[in-house]
């Protein structure tokens, strides 16, 4: 049995180095793990007579750091959007809304409460749970639902 030069020389396939279970992770750590594994494989199997330029290594590390920071900004923006949706849903309390039901029909009612779920805020519109994304229009506050909070100033001062 003879071995051809291409079979005897060269690094093993990178597909064997990357874990198969890492691609199912949803938090982006799979991409980070794959990047690090490819970087280590690149360094491990570089030609000793012609090593990789250290400038390239530093550039790749800087790109990796920038990618991590962008992911962090994206995560924080998602949290900000979620908080903004929660405040918006709370602001609809007592308002008349039109919404689409499961069949696509437009219904209306008064928002009586808000429930916060993992999928986002759900409005209680006259006893029906309505996802915030199904709301089509928001009208005025219904009669009898106005804010009845009163504020009083301190004692009047004479001039």
Q: Where are the domains of the chain?
A: 5-83, 93-141
Note the maximum CA span of the chain: 111
Residue-by-residue pLDDT tens, the chain, 159 positions: 444 444 444 444 434 443 444 344 455 677 778 878 887 888 788 877 777 777 877 888 888 889 889 999 999 999 999 888 888 888 899 999 999 988 889 999 999 999 888 888 999 999 999 998 899 998 888 776 555 444 445 455 554
DSSP 137: E
Determine how β-strand 106-117 pairs with β-strand 120-125: antiparallel
- CB count within 10 Å of CB 67 equals 14
C-alpha separations of 136 from 60, 102, 104, 106, 123 in Å? 47, 14, 11, 8, 13
Structural fold of domain 93-141: SH3 type barrels. (2.30.30)
The answer to pTM > 0.95 is no
Residue 147's contacts (CB-CB under 8 Å, 6 or more residues apart) are none
Question: Please, where are the H alpha helices in 14-129?
Answer: 29-44, 54-91
């Amino acid at each position: 049995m003879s071995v051809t030069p291409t079979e005897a020389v060269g690094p093993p396939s990178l597909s064997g180095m990357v874990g198969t279970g890492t691609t199912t992770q949803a938090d982006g750590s799979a991409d980070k793990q794959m990047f690090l594994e490819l970087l280590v494989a690149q360094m491990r199997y570089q030609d000793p007579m012609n090593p990789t330029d250290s400038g390239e290594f530093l550039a790749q590390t800087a790109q990796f750091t920038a990618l991590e920071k962008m992911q962090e900004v994206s995560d924080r923006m998602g949290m900000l959007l979620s908080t903004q949706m929660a405040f918006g849903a709370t602001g609809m309390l007592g308002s008349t809304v039109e919404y689409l039901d499961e069949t696509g029909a437009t219904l209306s009612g008064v928002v009586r409460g808000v429930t916060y779920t993992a999928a986002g805020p759900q409005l209680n519109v006259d006893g029906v749970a309505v996802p915030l994304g199904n709301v089509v229009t928001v009208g005025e506050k219904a009669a009898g639902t106005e804010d009845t909070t009163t504020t009083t100033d301190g004692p009047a001062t004479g001039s």
